[in-house]
A = this chain, B = another copy of it.
């Protein structure tokens, strides 16, 4: 059942050293505030699942929280490379990380299989591609009717999934709108679910019946963090801070600049700063 907690407590109670964790949100609704709280709490040895590691994992990797990253596109969307993640892979700085690389289709379907309680995802994919040669978790099954060889990968079953959403009801039901990405699947695949939201409303009565909602009994903790997706965005609340994504390319290019930025903008502040960061984007 969903408990309304401070972000500090929501993270402290649900994320532990060594966990397999997904911070999901496909460009939209990326739970940056929750990731910053995990960084402040110095959680260690995490296995990070995420289709596009993006700035959110570039920061966690750069701060040394990750031992392993499972991903499908390690870029700064529309800008370029993820320089902290590259530094970890190419130079083991600040530490070596293990990587498990998939395609977007495979990652999305691994979450879908996890949400469906299945041990693996079976799909048509990877034909002729190089990843099966370097990722031993990509196997095959044979269709018993056509004999076609299909790709199979293990379902994602994170210990905990963090997402950001527009609204929670007072009961703790969660509404996600716009580019909904893989959040519903990532949440339903996880043992524990933590959601940051822009606001709490009395109830969801009167909404369209077919919206994307996580019932309160599928959610463990909810923290109200206005602006909590910044520099990602929240459809209906504030826009993507594209300038910040462009700026990140410069900050992340230099180890010292990165460290200084993280100290000033993450370690020395709290979740309350996010509301201010999106003021100009509303």
Contact = CB atoms under 8 A, between A and B. Distances in A.
A145 B121 CA distance: 11
A257 B144 CA distance: 46
A177 interface: yes
Interface string A93-106: 00000000000000
Interface string A133-152: 00001011111111010101
Interface stretch (A9-17, A189-197, A205-213, A219-227): A205-213
Contacts of A137: 145
A119 interface: yes
A180 interface: yes
A144 B148 contact: no
Contact of A119 (B143, B177, B180): B143
Contacts of A141: 122, 141-144
Interface residues of A, number: 30
Contact of A178 (B145, B177, B209): B209
Contacts of A144: 120, 139-141, 152
A113 to B, nearest CB: 9
A117 interface: yes
Contacts of A123: 116, 118
B148 A180 contact: no
A154 interface: yes
Contacts of A180: 210
Interface of A: 116-120, 122-124, 137, 139-146, 148, 150, 152, 154, 177-178, 180, 208-212, 235
22 contacts: A117-B124, A118-B122, A118-B123, A118-B124, A118-B150, A119-B143, A119-B145, A119-B146, A120-B145, A122-B122, A137-B145, A140-B144, A141-B144, A143-B152, A144-B152, A145-B152, A177-B208, A177-B209, A178-B210, A208-B211, A210-B210, A210-B211
